[in-house]
Structure 1
Amino acid sequence: MRYAEIAVDAPTGPERTFSYAIPEGLELAPGHLVKVPFGPRSIQGVVISLSDTPQVEETRDIYDLVFEEPLVDEARLKLAAWTSRYYICSLFEALSPMLPQGGRVRGNTLVSLTDLADDIEPGTGGTSGTTLTPFQDKVLSYLRSHPKANLEQLVRRMGEGARSAIAALESRGMLTRRPGSLDPSVKAKVRQFITIAPAARDSAEQWLRDPSIRAHRQKSLAQALLDSPAPLGITSARKEFGAGAVRSLMDRGWLNQEAVQADRDPLEGRSFPPALPVTLTSQQAAIAAEIRCSLENTSGEDASGRPDTYLLQGVTGSGKT
């Protein structure tokens, strides 16, 4: 059996990893984001390395992949190891800025009522043999209107006292807790495109030549699709020719619709003025030259192997940055 050393999304020491068994059929590589059991919870982790021997005798199985492809390459794994060691943080914390936006999902707990709670009328304080405090009754009322509530959201709404109330209700069998989803909150962006169906081209061309048909917007859309060498975006087609025209041609069975995954560009639609060249003062130039000379003439590390450190002294606004 093969094993993976995984940096988990939990408070751990610098460069600490945990050994997990790789289930049969699960293809893993360093840099993969995975779901793993950790105590009673399910959390995310990043595969750091693969091995034939675990750190401990008993291991648990990896649950599943979060993404099919590795998200972190070898160079960034090494950078994260250095960051974890140098800044004394967990390996996952060092890796988290390298994950795609929305990829990191912290484990959450969902709370829901059982059938036993359904037998209790709201505001009655319980049934015979079951006495509820007013606050516990309030928690039950909230859960009736919010099935599968997130525990942390419930606590933020009702205060820290909700934790003890939930524990008491759980011990009486009135509610259950279970791990929430670890799926990424951000999904791939998908754009819809339309084309004339190959089998409908002759019918569409014949329909366009019929002078008795006065559906001008539908005709314009059909002609544009016939003339276009590439599919048209359905959003732009609706904007230019009208949603009704698009829907009418679809109802005729003349259009093929295709979903295409598109890369997200956070800077789309934004423009930035070019940065002006920076002119150093004589003092700044002298300091920069001295640091550059030191870096070029040494390995950039001191005897202990730590990177050289340079202290720039000056008041706020003196030009250190």
Structure 2
Amino acid sequence: MPDIVLPKAVYARIAVNVPHVQGIFDYHLPEETSQDFKIGHLVTVPFGKQSVQGIIIEFPDVPAVPQTKAVQKILDPLPVVTLGQIKLAQSISLDTLSPLGLTLQAMIPAGLSVQSDIQYCLSEQSLALLEGGETPLADLSPSQTHLLDLIIERGPLRGRQLDRVLPHKNWRSTAGSLTRRGVLISQSTLGDPTVKPKMERQLRFRGKKTAAFKQMEDLARKGFPEALARRQAVLKMVMEGEDSIALTVIYQETGANLADIKQLALRGLVDIIEVHVLRDPLEEIKISPGPTPVLTPDQQQAWDMIQGAFLAEKPKPLLLHGVTGSGKTEIYLRAVEKTIQEGKQAIILVPEIALTPQTVTRFMNRFPDRVGILNSELSQGERYDTWQLARQGALDIVVGPRSGLFTPFPNLGLIVVDECHDDSYYQGEISPRYHALQGAIQYAEITGAVCILGSATPDITTLYQATRGKWQILTLPERILAHREAILDQLEAADQDPSTNRYHPLNEELQAANLPSLHVVDMRTELKEGNRSIFSVPLQDKLKTTLEKNQQAILFLNRRGSATYVFCRDCGYALRCPRCETSLTAHQSDNSLRCHLCGYRRNTPQTCPACGSNRIRQIGTGTEQVESALQKLLPGIRSMRWDRDTTRTKGAHWEIMEKFSSHQA
């Protein structure tokens, strides 16, 4: 039979990346390259007087308008979103009224998605006046003078650059007035993507080792023993290495320079090559594989029901309701293993970036070299490389917060939403505004994937959906700690007496523990009895007992800083953020007041800005104050503070967790 020739696509329906633009627009494809275009491609298209990015969502037979413009070019050879992602974006856009183009752009890495911008530069008339030593206009306002000085000093500036230089200033109206008066010229611009694969220059041995040894003494002119020694060291290094070696490593190890490398290349001894290098954020994570634990009867019952979901054509969402420590993660691991066996991939969502290290470590121990991570702490390059691996199907598992839902897996088989009750799964600050829990359920329905929602305290809406039969509910009522041997190993590593073991046997291999007892202390009673500390007397006693047993303690407080309210005792004036009117938080570390909402910062005043009084007082408790009070209560104690202020640097979460796990605090 003759091959069926598919008709060439002539038109493309595109969601454009233009803020506040809701619609989709039809374009025609260049005839000579129309076969190159695919659904999901990132392209540039004309839009009004500017060029913008857009994503192809379908190829209509007939355009919605009689006259169409041509698509300009493809920015990435592979589709940047899958068909399932396009359907998910359409669903989110419909439910939340977010622009479809903006929703789709949120699914691709920062740096690949670029919005058009306006560039401002001096007009020819202004340049001529400045060359003659004159000012473009004499009656400029202070804001106009400031903006004009910036452009004279720095050259042409784009709108986003001015946003950073002039935050919280209405510079756009100022620029508009200068443009209308002929002082400035504005023009639309669309920059190229700022992120791309990382290429590294490396050195590779060329030829035969016998021939290279014969030239070893002739690598430099006579009278230059230092150059000879450097080149000999480089040649020996690349000859001994099995693979090519990065030039930066060669420079560091041998002290050679580029001239030495070029001389070796001219002699035909080495080749300078460019190699694609993966920016792997998990490269330095230590893996400790362990045996797969035996499931408890409750876990086995839950797992049997989940296996049934893998066989269903349209599986229902599964609510895994298990108390803290009941072994929900082991169920996730079994589900991921099942997914990989079927040749599919899994997305694991966690509510906070701080939880990512712990979860990633568990999954890496079970599935080495198959796990990726996506979150805002990564560099643009790391996010791009992980996204690329996921898009190509080179990863089986991605762990991340709510944005991890947009991982472009080609054959998604499982979505896990851990701690599904957490409010951080909702993105309400910026568009697209969506809830990752609802998005996960929709995405699983679109792709036919199994969706597991785990929680120790599911909210009332989730329980209602489960009890109505829309979702399937699984329960894990028993708290499992670990295998008996693992617990004894931990006690020994922490120099603990096994007699302090608080666990009780669940069966021959597993040990469990009851949920911890809770004690509510009325701090008003403590104050009446003379305790002015932020720690109650029972807490102080428990802390001392814990340290005497060489055990560890964790103190939780949902407030950063050293005081949460700063005011004047005389007039009652409260120091608030001038931008968003929230109370400023005091930080003792640098004697500053900060707004935790917008980032505003100022020094702590010595006198009241309203009445001039020096009776400025600070009340409220923050994590800095807790740490300081702890050091006074228990001098010499090894403490660590884990909050946003101490985890701004890359890898800080991993470092704190590792130190605490190894009993360094």
Structure 2 residue identity aligned to 1:241? T
Preserved CA contact (<8 Å) 1:21 1:61: yes
Of residues 75-84 and 44-53 in structure 1, the stretch that sits farther from structure 2 once superposed is 75-84
Q: Does 1:157 align with 2:172?
A: no
Matches of 1:299 and 1:195 in 2, distance apart? Answer: 53
Separation in 2 of the partners of 1:200 and 1:293? Answer: 58
Aligned alpha-carbon RMSD (Å) = 4.3
Match of 2:250 in 1: 237
Superposition deviation, residue 45 in structure 1: 0.9
Q: Which residue of 2 aligns with 1:23?
A: 30
Matching residue within 269, 273, 276 for 1:261:
276
**Is 1:311 the counterpart of 2:462 in the alignment?**
yes
Distance 1:209 1:157 in 2: 58
Q: Distance in 2 between matches of 1:187 and 1:267?
A: 19
Secondary structure of 1:132's partner? coil
Deviation at 1:20, TM superposition (A): 1.1
Q: Are residue 142 (structure 1) and residue 157 (structure 2) matched?
A: no
Alignment check: 8 A CA contact 2:115 2:190 kept = no
Q: 1:23 to 1:293 in 2, by over 3 A?
A: closer
Change in 2 beyond 3 A, CA 1:233/1:21: same
The offset of 1:277, in angstroms, is 7.9
Q: 1:294 to 1:210 in 2, by over 3 A?
A: closer
**Change beyond 3 A, Cα 1:153–1:118:** same
Q: TM-score, normalised by structure 1?
A: 0.75
Q: 10, 13, 21: which is aligned to 1:2?
A: 10
- For 1:223, the equivalent position in structure 2 comes to 236
Structure 1 position 268, deviation (Å): 2.5
| Structure-2 separation of matches of 1:249 and 1:293 | 59
CA distance in 1, matches of 2:208, 2:218: 19
Aligned-pair CA distance for 1:98: 3.1
Residue pair 1:43, 1:182 contacting (<8 A) in 2 also = no
Question: Residues of 2 paired with 1:280 and 1:86: CA distance?
Answer: 41
CA contact (8 A) 1:125 1:134 kept: no
- Residue number among 250, 266, 280 corresponding to 2:262 in the alignment: 250
* Partner Cα separation in structure 1 for residue 155 and residue 203 of structure 2: 39
Report the Cα distance in structure 2 between the residues aligned to 1:173 and 1:133, rounded to whole angstroms: 15
Q: Structure 1 residues 150, 230: CA separation in 2 closer, same or farther (over 3 Å shift)? A: same
Aligned length: 304
1:50 is aligned to 59
8 Å CA contact retained: 2:234, 2:256:
no
Deviations 1:98-143 (A, max 9, x none): 323421112221111122112445997646xx64334323322111
How far apart in 2 are the matches of 1:294 and 1:223? Answer: 60
Q: Deviations over 1:167-224 (max 9, x none)?
A: 122123222112233311112100111124559984x432325699853342132123
Q: Partners in 1 of 2:283 and 2:53 — Cα distance?
A: 30
Q: Distance between the aligned counterparts of 2:312 and 2:284, measured in 1?
A: 45
1:77 maps to 86
Stretches of structure 2 lacking an aligned partner (at least 5 in a row): 1-8, 317-441, 446-450, 454-460, 465-475, 478-665
3-state SS of 2:145 partner:
helix
* CA distance in 2: counterparts of 1:95 and 1:292, whole angstroms: 31
Displacement, 1:145?
A: 0.9
- Residue by residue over 1:24-72, the C-alpha shift from the partner in whole angstroms, topping out at 9 and shown as x without a partner, is 3332111100112223332211111123321111222222221122222
Relative distance call for 1:271 and 1:124 in structure 2 (3 A) is farther
The answer as to 2:75 corresponding to 1:66 is yes
In the alignment, the residues of structure 2 paired with residue 278 and residue 167 of structure 1 have an alpha-carbon distance, to the nearest angstrom, of 69
Instruction: Give SS of 2:59's match.
Output: strand
Quote the Cα distance in structure 2 between the aligned partners of 1:266 and 1:2.
42
Partner of 1:173: 182
Distance 1:259 1:3 in 2: 39
- Per the alignment, residue 194 of structure 2 pairs with 185
Deviates more, 1:179-188 or 1:223-232: 223-232
* Residue 266 (structure 1) shift: 3.0
Paired residues of 1:71 and 1:99 also in contact (CA < 8 A): yes
Question: In the superposition, relative to structure 1, how do residues 217 and 155 fare at CA in structure 2: closer, same or farther (>3 Å)?
Answer: closer
How far off is 1:281 after superposition? 12
Q: Which residue of 2 aligns with 1:316?
A: none
The alpha carbon displacement at 1:298 in A equals 10
Contact 1:44–1:182 (8 Å) recurs in 2: no
How much identity, in percent, do the aligned residues show?
Answer: 25
> What is the DSSP-based 3-state SS (H/G/I as helix, E as strand, rest coil) of the residue aligned with 2:215?
helix
Measure, in 2, the Cα distance between the counterparts of 1:132 and 1:62. Answer: 43
Counterparts in 2 of 1:61 and 1:298: CA distance versus 1, 3 Å: closer
Q: 1:294 to 1:81 in 2, by over 3 A?
A: farther
Letter in 1 for 2:140: L
Verify the 8 A CA contact 2:42 2:76 in the aligned structure 1.
yes
Q: What residue identity is the alignment partner of 1:162?
A: W
Counterpart for residue 208 of structure 1: 216
State the secondary structure of the residue aligned to 1:243.
coil
Query: How far apart are the structure 1 equivalents of 2:271 and 2:67?
Result: 54
Question: For residues 193 and 181 of structure 1, do their structure 2 counterparts lie closer, same or farther at Cα, with a shift above 3 Å needed?
Answer: same
The one-letter amino acid paired with 1:251 is Q
* C-alpha contact (below 8 Å) 1:201/1:226 kept by paired residues: no
Deviation string for 1:210-257 (max 9, x for gaps)?
Answer: 69985334213212333445322212222222233x632423523321
Q: Secondary structure at the match of 1:46?
A: strand
Task: Report the Cα offset of residue 271 of structure 1.
Answer: 4.2
> Whose RCO is larger (CA < 8 A, sep 6+)?
1
